[in-house]
Structure 1
Amino acid sequence: MSYRILAINPGSTSTKIALYEDEKEVLCQTLVHPMTEIQKYDKIADQFDMRKEVVLTFLRDNGYDVNELSAVVGRGGMVPSVKSGAYIVNKTMVERLRNNPVIEHASNLGALIAYEIANSIGVSAYIYDSVRSDEMIDIARISGMPDIVRTSTCHVLNSRAMAMKVASKYGKKYSDMNFVVAHLGGGVSISVHEKGKIIDVIADDEGPFSPERSGRVPCKALIELCYSGKFDKKTMFKKQHGNGGLIAYLGTNDAREVEKMIKNGDENAKLVYEAMAYQIAKGIGELSTVVNGNVDAIVITGGIAYSEMMTSWIKKRVEFIAPVEIMPGENEMEALALGVLRVLRGEEEAREYVE
């Protein structure tokens, strides 16, 4: 039996959709929403009707019949912490995301739009590997400051999907292997996967710096800077998230531009860029200790994994731990669709969402 799955991944000013027939991508399109349109809405949930109509209109205008769908999957939004894998979108989840999300975030619309389309044709809607997936072990939650509890924040959707691909390449099950996965994008997150669960992470604010994030910085110096009177709270957040890392040191958040600078003989650019690789390698080594060094493979993924310069620097430092697999790209639409395909085929079980 063949399955047709529609995947929906809302971003701040766009909605990405993909149509899969089993493992085959039939369509992948980014539908852009002008900022002038987005600014009309006070809350993200208020964009629901507009975004849903844009998706349905595009499908209809391009000859795709939603009545042929077997399921619809949306990017998991800001619900309270959940397990990884698939959840059926139900009224409880819709109520939470529409009226009381943990954080106002565009991903909240994924489940809402999926639920509406799926209900209209009598099939199920799902989320898969929500951004709020959290299966960290208790010992990993201790931060050293009782006021702060560590939580699992990483690029879970792509990280799990790429680990599963590597497991398949090795002829094994994801649930039988241990991985350390580094996702290299605008932010860098690193996760350790033990027998099918992400049990600890290094989030983008507590590890390597990246094109736009400062990552882990010395705490005492950070506190002094916060109370120096030079910067307000908003500016300090921006220095950590948005204006940190490569853009702070080199004036660009584009790794390709940095590599051009290096090839043109800029030694400072080379030092900073290699320092990013150095810190990523340190993070991989750090999480390898969580599973006592029993790592079956290290996976490097995300957009910057296309860079041979960056991945070669990282690989050189960590390949003594385990084989290194380079799996470039974001791969989010494929991860959503193939996750639900496994549910439809009975290879995975979808959970029911409860508060």
Structure 2
Amino acid sequence: MNNYTFLIINPGSTSTKISIFENDIETMTETIRHSSEKINSYKEIYDQFDFRKDLIMDVLKNKNIDLSTFTAIIARGGNMKPVVGGTYEVNEEMLNDLKIGVMGQHASNLGGGLAYSIASELGLKAYVVDPVVVDEFEPLARISGTPLIPRKSKDHPLNQRAVAREAAKEMGGKYDDFNFIIAHLGGGISVGTHKRGRMIDVNNALDGDGPMSPERCGAIPFGGVIDLCYSGEYTKKELRKKLVGCGGLVGYLGTNDAREVIKRIKEGDEYSKLIYEAMAYQISKEIGASSAVLKGDVDAILLTGGLAYDSILMDWIKDRVEFIAPVKVFPGEHEMKALACGVLRVLDNKEKLQMYPNK
């Protein structure tokens, strides 16, 4: 194996995480926090570009990082046109699509641009891996119930595919040897159906599909939503915030922190227990639905994300779904390593570089 050094950039809504990897080993990591006041002072996502880039460069300077040692700059991929899973070199069309947000605006849209800007100054290439719009749906999965609103794939493919590869290795094979149901459990929750190396179905974790999460309402009766839209009480922006940023645990319990909810439960708060267990119930239902997509041919159910650290939630889910297949838990998010490994596979000629766009 050759030796490579990667700078990894992962923009989130209130933070920018950067890491340095030597091949697949993390040697430095830093999470730059951004206050809500600062972020909200920018009208559009891309207005934050210079602010975030300057902070990244300041961290590298303060840590005396020799920029000439980098092989490539890699970033989390955002809302570009739908693509198949894989590693992509950032190009002009991708940059434009991320800037205008062809599939929506999110902080992850900044990733490709930040990586490209830094890479260009260093004479390097920039890459994204398994962006949030990976779409490998089979035709049946695209049908929603009305031609006005086709189902879309917007979820957590980077972390889902990373733990799929890890699980497959543990099971003595490769990702495309197995059928997995993978639940990414974070501020948003996505449950993906993975069939022999392709994610053929998943709930739209951002736009009101699947289980509720710490911050999002998930699938709710649309009649009630229509009533809210025409109630005159909310603007479009306010209502979206109510359902996406302030739904789920935030809406019911006023917090998105599962640790706080668990603390309340241990102190005897029955309402908190009801809501938290309801989230586990809904996650389990989504897993059950995914098993039907695979006609019961499920090799393993994988649970990952920040919430996977909580044994209470994991036990509630296991109790309902272990009859389907063995359950494996991979706590935390594995995005930074997944980004490094995606480019590493391409540079070592173990995987083909994908071209954007490809659909």
User: What TM bracket, shorter-length normalisation?
Assistant: over 0.9
1:19/1:27 contact within 8 Å kept:
yes
- 1:136 matched to 2:167? The reply is no
Unpaired runs of 5+ residues, structure 2, are none
- 1:290 matched to 2:293? The reply is yes
Change (3 A) 1:36 1:167: same
CA deviation map 1:297-318 (0-9, x unaligned):
1011111111000000100111
Letter in 1 for 2:183: A
Aligned counterparts of 1:215 and 1:157: Cα–Cα separation in 2: 21
**Identity across matched positions, percent:** 50
By how many angstroms is 1:185 displaced? 1.2
By how many angstroms is 1:270 displaced? 1.6
2:81/2:357 contact within 8 Å kept:
no
Q: Which residue of structure 1 lines up, in the alignment, with residue 253 of structure 2?
A: 250
Aligned pairs (5 A) from 1:20-31:
20-31=21-32
Greater mean deviation of Cα atoms: 8-17 or 320-329 = 8-17
CA deviation map 1:132-171 (0-9, x unaligned):
2111111111111111100111111111111111111111
1:246/1:273 contact within 8 Å kept:
yes
Q: Which residue of structure 1 lines up, in the alignment, with residue 302 of structure 2?
A: 299
Aligned counterparts of 1:62 and 1:333: Cα–Cα separation in 2: 19
TM-score of the aligned structures, taking structure 1 as reference length: 0.93
- 1:333 matched to 2:341? The reply is no
Tell me which of 298, 314, 317 is aligned to 1:311: 314
Change (3 A) 1:285 1:39: closer
By how many angstroms is 1:280 displaced? 0.6
Letter in 1 for 2:296: G
Letter in 1 for 2:346: V
CA deviation map 1:260-308 (0-9, x unaligned):
1111122222222111111111100101111111111101111111100
1:274/1:310 contact within 8 Å kept:
yes
Aligned pairs (5 A) from 1:212-223:
212-223=215-226
Aligned pairs (5 A) from 1:1-355:
1-34=2-35, 38=39, 41-98=42-99, 101-204=102-205, 205-354=208-357
CA deviation map 1:206-254 (0-9, x unaligned):
2211212221122334334444455444443233212222222222221
Q: CA RMSD in A?
A: 2.0
Greater mean deviation of Cα atoms: 205-214 or 301-310 = 205-214
By how many angstroms is 1:348 displaced? 1.3
TM-score of the aligned structures, taking structure 2 as reference length: 0.92
1:190/1:203 contact within 8 Å kept:
no
Provide the aligned length of Structure 1 versus Structure 2: 355
Change (3 A) 1:261 1:110: same
Letter in 2 for 1:161: A
Letter in 1 for 2:211: P
By how many angstroms is 1:130 displaced? 0.6
CA deviation map 1:115-134 (0-9, x unaligned):
12223333321100111211
Name the SS for the 1:351 alignment partner.
coil
